[in-house]
Structures are given as C-alpha cells and as structure tokens.
C-alpha cells in the first residue's frame, strides 16, 4: 500500500468524476477499492476533497526533571528501555 497525498486524492476524485472505474483507479494508485470508495463517498457527502490527518501518535513532552531522572536511572541500572521502564515503575510503587 502506498501513502496518499492531497494531489493523489484530487486525481482519484477527478478520475472517478470522468467515469473511470473504481477498481482501475485503485490498481493505478496501489490502494484498495474500499479506500477509493471511502474517499469518494466523503467527497460526495461534504462537497470538498477530503483532507488527510497527520499520522502517528501526538508527541508528549516530558519535563526536564523527568528526563534527568530517566538518564540517572539508566546510568545506574544499565538496562534497555523496557527493563528500565519496569524498574522505574517499581521505584514509584514504593
């Protein structure tokens, strides 16, 4: 599967409006027919080309104190991130 961008979405809508088959559009773009239908249905219901949302998880900033604590614990225990997380959780349980 390929990532779509706004230009490709506009192309998909335009080609469907011209009468090109959904299956053909999906194959050309390397996406599923269902995804093409989703985009076109959203375009038809809202009357404007769908916008892509930013992917991924939102970044959560940590404080300077938290950062220093993690670095200190890493230097002390010399373990990987998962084991370090478990050690820190045990420290905070007490």
- Judged against a pLDDT cut of 90, whether residue 82 lies above it is answered with yes
| Gap between the Cα atoms of 36 and 26, Å rounded | 6
Q: Which two tokens stand for residue 90?
A: 């045990």
**Would you tell me how many other CB atoms lie within 10 Å of the CB of residue 59?**
5
> What pTM did the predictor assign?
0.59
| Gap between the Cα atoms of 78 and 6, Å rounded | 46
Q: Which two tokens stand for residue 78?
A: 């010399």
pLDDT tens digit sequence for 10-51: 999 999 999 999 999 999 999 999 999 999 999 999 989 888
Please calculate the CA angle 11-27-15 and round it to the nearest 5 degrees: 25
């Amino acid at each position: 599967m390929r990532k779509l961008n706004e230009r490709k979405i506009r192309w998909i809508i335009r080609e469907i409006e011209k009468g090109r088959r959904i299956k053909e559009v999906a194959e050309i773009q390397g996406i599923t027919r269902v995804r093409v239908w989703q985009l076109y249905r959203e375009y038809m219901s809202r009357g404007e080309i769908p916008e892509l949302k930013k992917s991924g998880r939102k970044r959560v900033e940590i404080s300077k104190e938290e950062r220093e604590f993690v670095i200190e614990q890493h230097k002390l225990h010399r373990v990987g991130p998962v084991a370090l997380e478990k050690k820190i959780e045990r420290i905070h349980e007490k």
